[in-house]
Amino acid sequence: MICMRRPKIVVEPPGPKARELIERDRRLLSPSLTRTAPLVGVEAEGCWVRDIDGNEYLDFGSGIAVTNVGHRHPRVVETVKREVERLIFVNSCDFYTVPQVELAEKLAEITPGDFDKRVFFTNSGTEAVECALKVTRYHTGGYYFIGFIGGFHGRTMGSLQFTTTSLSARRRFQPMMPGVIHAPYAYCYRCPLGHEGYPDCGLACLAYLEDWILKKVAPPEEVAGILFEPVQGAGGYIVPPAEWVRGLRRIANEHGIPLIDDEVQAGMGRTGRWWAVEHFGVVPDVVTISKAIAAGFPFGACVTRADIMDWAPGAHENTLGGNPVLARVALTVIDIIEREGLLENASKMGEYLKKRMEELAGEFELIGDVRGLGLMVGVEFVKDRRT
């Protein structure tokens, strides 16, 4: 068991054991994996990680917003041990399980919207997004989708068309899924349309979507969905104005377009609410969920209004989605968040973190912007604040 007050370095990283393992990794694993640090983790608990050479680190990234209840939470470990002794797998294409139904009921309860819902379980966030794209296209019969520049929604061939955080993710994968149009996101610190900032811009990015894309490019009646992140994750932890998010909801309502809320990174309590979209007072038609829902195990879900998930049997299935062990883990994670007051904690600690970062920004010119909701906080470093 790891019990630490501060990080501890016993060998300058990467240590000899790490270097040996990393070399073996380089010979065999895909070079597409970015690998931002030479860390070989072998044990973790709470917010602490120990590497193969005995160094101990504070996990300040939570595994890209995956370990919202901490590494190896005792109740998660207990649930896994109990459930694997009971039932490891059932083919949910053909049969039924109790954990799936109970988790679907819980997700219908905690996701935004007081209406009937349906749930499809997946193994990852990109699969949840693929489900959202398929179900909205099936439901509407529409051809076009609206996505946003700087968004990240996955790397499979459908979701990849919406991922515009970097060219490295998109290069040499053409042609991608057709019909996707990218609009500017409300990145007010660096306005993509060249304005000085909100509210003086008059939300020109929203006007671009409404007055140009939907009037010149994509007939609204042929748009199958608007896919957005309420806080852009990989794009830089960009928090849009509430007016922009509400504007998306208004546009979707006016044209009967499903609004798809990708909560894969921002959801499950990271921002101090169950779902980041709740900060803006907006109820989406579709929610995609993954990352933190099963405390690091591969699991996800697509939750929609019941009338949207109206497809026929066989229209969309998978073999491993909704695994009974992991569905029970997800229920445990939700219960931990509720019982341990982690929503309130994320809000409280997030405000403290932002306050301290803003104080540092007052001292150091290289900090250009501090932004975020709850414990989804971004700090943007710049060469010159004026430019």
Domain assignments of the chain as residue spans, ordered by start: 1-60, 80-339
The angle at the Cα of 190, spanning 185 to 193, to the nearest 5 degrees, equals 60
Please classify residue 35 by burial: count the beta carbons closer than 10 Å to its beta carbon, then call 0-12 exposed, 13-18 middle and 19+ buried.
exposed
Per-residue b or e along 93-104, where b marks 16 or more CB atoms closer than 10 Å to that residue's CB:
eeeebebbeebb
**Going residue by residue through the chain (387 aa), what tens digit of pLDDT does each one get?**
445 578 999 999 999 999 999 999 999 999 999 999 999 999 999 999 999 999 999 998 898 999 999 999 999 999 999 999 999 999 999 999 999 999 999 999 999 999 999 999 999 999 999 999 999 999 999 999 999 999 999 999 999 999 999 999 999 999 999 999 999 999 999 999 999 989 999 999 999 999 999 999 999 999 999 999 999 999 999 999 999 999 999 999 999 999 999 999 999 999 999 999 999 999 999 999 999 999 999 999 999 999 999 999 999 999 999 999 999 999 999 999 999 999 999 999 999 999 999 999 999 999 999 999 999 999 999 999 877
Give this prediction's pTM.
Answer: 0.96
Amino acid letter, 224: A
The CATH number of domain 80-339 is 3.40.640.10: yes
| Tokens encoding 207 | 């006007």
**Helices (H), ranges, the chain:** 16-28, 62-65, 74-84, 98-110, 125-140, 157-160, 204-207, 242-255, 324-339, 342-363
Give the separation between CA 319 and CA 325, rounded to whole angstroms.
14
| Terminal Cα-to-Cα distance of the chain (whole angstroms) | 49
Give the separation between CA 118 and CA 338, rounded to whole angstroms.
23
Residue listed under structure tokens 């068309």: 161
| Tokens encoding 358 | 């803003």
pLDDT of residue 387: 77
**What ranges make up the beta strands (E) of 124-276?**
144-148, 180-183, 223-228, 259-262
Give the separation between CA 160 and CA 164, rounded to whole angstroms.
8
pLDDT of residue 1: 42
Indicate the helix (H) or strand (E) that contains 58: strand 56-58
CA distances (Å), origin 153, targets 122, 179, 266, 315: 14, 16, 12, 22
